[in-house]
Structure 1
Amino acid sequence: MFALRAYAPGEPERLAFEKAPSPDLGPRDVLVRVHASAVSPGELDWPGAWLDHDGTPRVPPIIPGHEVAGLVVAVGPDATGFALGDEVFGYIDAHRDGSDAEYVAVRSDAGELAQKPATLTHAEAAAVPLSALTAWQALFDHGDLQSGQRVLVHGGAGGVGTFAVQFARWRGAHVLATSSERDRSFVGELGADEVIDYRGTRFEDVLTHVDLVLDTVGGDTWSRSWDVIRPGGRLVSIAVPRPPDREVVDGRRAIWFVVRPDVGQLAEIGRLLDAGHVRSIVSDVLPLARGAEAYGPGARRSGPGKVILSVTGG
């Protein structure tokens, strides 16, 4: 098969589109013929991508890409829940070779795959899992967001932010968001009630009594967010590096977490997508052979949303 392979951490210039061995199919695995794979630009810096589950360094090259949409073409003898011909999407194990390839092996019992939403193309489906699961877990598992509450989403036009705005609107919250001036109208169309240009306005000067802040940025944004949270409110962060611990004041809590696969949540998100309550945002679609262009700090995008690598069909 052909694949995009990485030879060193954090060096997108050392990505190579080349022939690679087809993945070994474990007894509990399903083999997915990849139609589309989403790009996470910082993935080549993920420590876990270069380690096995036991912490042993993996021997390069590795195959990046851990958001996939495609077709089940083989099933291991002990695999459950999937059959040949199933169209699937999911967020797959970062410690194994990923989906920037023609084929990827995925554990059937690890909560990583779900049936692809019928109304989405493979490219649209591949843009969903990591960002949507992160937003869902931030708002509902860790933030306990309820209807009528005020939530502030930093980076409302980003991968996680676009889903967070839509999920919060669906839940019935009053949605506040920060974005660039260029993306303000886009974030408003997603469902934000108020969108603040973070370059032109300090959000803490115009907001108060926020029940939940979702921080996707970190640094100064994280520290300033405390000024807008009501007593008893929460600040949930996914920023890297992890923000410093902070003493709990007035019942306010800081929570930092790493997303986990969850097939039940992914299936529920799929139902919301099929029902039209939320939508997938795709910025650009590139052929797998040009995948190296999508990684690294200088990668260009035509607008908000995910960059997708098209592998087989759409």
Structure 2
Amino acid sequence: MKAARIHTYGGAEVLTIDDVEKPTITDEEVLVKVIASSINPLDWLLRSGELKDLIPVSFPHTLGWDFSGIIEKVGSKVTKYAVGDAIYSRPEVSRHGSHAEYIAVPAVDIAIKPRTVSFASAASLPIASITAWQALFEKGELKKGQRILIHGGAGSLGAIAVQLAKAQGAYVITTAAENDHEFVRSLGADEVIDFRKVRFQDVVSDVDVVLDTIGRQVQVDSYAVLKHKGILVAVNTYPDLELAKSYGVEARFLSIKPNGSHLKKVAEWVDNGRLRPIVGHEYSFEDIAQAYSLSESGAAKGKIVLHVSTP
């Protein structure tokens, strides 16, 4: 089979498409023919070596975090899934990556893909939806009628978070560049702040939850807009707990793991119209280098999806 692998850390030149053997599975895993896989910034950050202390891998390593596909083989202890099932997942990437024609993944980490969308759309969802779900409803404890500020509402994570928060019945405020305002309003945002022209802390106050997707000074400035005992959830920079305490608020950091049960809930929300995937760019597997270049440029809008094979 074909797999996009790295044999060392580095720039775009270290990513190669290799011929490798299909992975074998344990009794509790399934072997999946990958139909589509999406690209996340985490992919090229891992390739570059920036994440080597957080996510150690052995070389050669197959990249990729999100995918959708069709089960080709099931382990002897797998009872919930069968050969031919269309599934989607975010695997544990320290072992197998999804930028390959086949992947072995524990059955507990998968879910039946949303039936109302394509494989490409399903492949865009796992990391963003699991992160948004856990950030909003578990770490952030977001409830109906509460006010939330979501930083970066037009990004791949922010776009999912805006939709989930609105579906939960929250009042949603988000930051986005002016040319993305119509887009994030279409997702359900009640207020949109142009972060290039307006300091959000000058116009936002008394929110119950902040979802910080940016970090750095944005995180520091966010404490002041929270209500007393409000919650800031950070997903990429560990928050200063003492600073949060000085503002009378809580700060929590989210580190996600594969979670099939959450993906099952996300699929239900997609199929009942409460959540829509945002696919911005699609590439063939052979053009993976171009797809990575687009992701690294920061110019992508919506998820970047690779068409790995056909159903």
Larger % of helix: which? 2
Q: Is the 8 A contact 2:143 2:169 kept in 1?
A: yes
Query: Relative to structure 2, which stretch is displaced further, 85-94 or 299-308?
Result: 299-308
| Aligned with residue 288 of structure 2, among 275, 291, 294 | 291
Give the match for residue 224 of structure 2.
227
Deviation at 1:293, TM superposition (A): 2.2
Deviation at 1:78, TM superposition (A): 2.3
- Aligned-residue identity in percent: 37
| SS of 2:22 mapped into structure 1 | coil
Q: Which runs of 5+ in 2 are unaligned?
A: none
Q: Is the 8 A contact 1:204 1:228 kept in 2?
A: yes
**Root-mean-square deviation (CA), in Å?**
2.1
Q: Is the 8 A contact 2:224 2:247 kept in 1?
A: no
Give the match for residue 30 of structure 2.
30
Q: Is the 8 A contact 1:3 1:18 kept in 2?
A: yes
Q: Is the 8 A contact 2:39 2:295 kept in 1?
A: no
Q: Is the 8 A contact 1:151 1:213 kept in 2?
A: yes
Deviation at 1:147, TM superposition (A): 0.8
Q: Which runs of 5+ in 1 are unaligned?
A: none
Supply the AA of the counterpart residue of 1:245. Answer: L
CA gap of 1:311–1:298, structure 2 versus 1, over 3 A, is closer
Alignment of structure 1 residues 43-122 onto 2, 5 Å: 43-46=43-46, 58-108=57-107, 111-122=108-119
Query: Relative to structure 2, which stretch is displaced further, 39-48 or 156-165?
Result: 39-48
| SS of 1:68 mapped into structure 2 | strand
Deviation at 1:17, TM superposition (A): 1.5
Deviation at 1:160, TM superposition (A): 1.0
Give the match for residue 42 of structure 2.
42
CA gap of 1:58–1:228, structure 2 versus 1, over 3 A, is closer
Q: C-alpha separation between the residues in 1 aligned to 2:290 and 2:165?
A: 33
Q: Does 1:131 align with 2:102?
A: no
Q: Does 1:276 align with 2:273?
A: yes
CA gap of 1:184–1:303, structure 2 versus 1, over 3 A, is farther
- The one-character-per-residue Cα deviations of 1:151-171 (angstroms, maximum 9, x if unpaired) are 000010111101110011001
Q: Is the 8 A contact 1:301 1:307 kept in 2?
A: no
Alignment of structure 1 residues 10-29 onto 2, 5 Å: 10-29=10-29
- The one-character-per-residue Cα deviations of 1:150-195 (angstroms, maximum 9, x if unpaired) are 1000010111101110011001110000011111110011000001
Q: Is the 8 A contact 2:239 2:251 kept in 1?
A: no
TM-score, L = length of structure 1: 0.92
Supply the AA of the counterpart residue of 2:25. Answer: L
Q: Does 1:253 align with 2:250?
A: yes
Q: Is the 8 A contact 1:71 1:87 kept in 2?
A: yes
CA gap of 1:168–1:10, structure 2 versus 1, over 3 A, is farther
Q: C-alpha separation between the residues in 1 aligned to 2:94 and 2:21?
A: 17
TM-score, L = length of structure 2: 0.93
| SS of 1:145 mapped into structure 2 | coil
- The one-character-per-residue Cα deviations of 1:41-70 (angstroms, maximum 9, x if unpaired) are 232434798699xx9x64322111121100
- The one-character-per-residue Cα deviations of 1:236-268 (angstroms, maximum 9, x if unpaired) are 00024x233334135410001111222222111
Supply the AA of the counterpart residue of 2:184. Answer: V
Q: Is the 8 A contact 1:283 1:303 kept in 2?
A: yes
Query: Relative to structure 2, which stretch is displaced further, 59-68 or 7-16?
Result: 7-16
The count of corresponding residues between Structure 1 and Structure 2 is 308
Supply the AA of the counterpart residue of 2:7. Answer: Y
Q: Is the 8 A contact 1:33 1:104 kept in 2?
A: yes
Give the match for residue 168 of structure 2.
171
Give the match for residue 153 of structure 1.
150
Q: C-alpha separation between the residues in 2 aligned to 1:33 and 1:276?
A: 27
Q: Is the 8 A contact 2:36 2:309 kept in 1?
A: yes
Give the match for residue 191 of structure 1.
188
Q: C-alpha separation between the residues in 2 aligned to 1:165 and 1:268?
A: 17
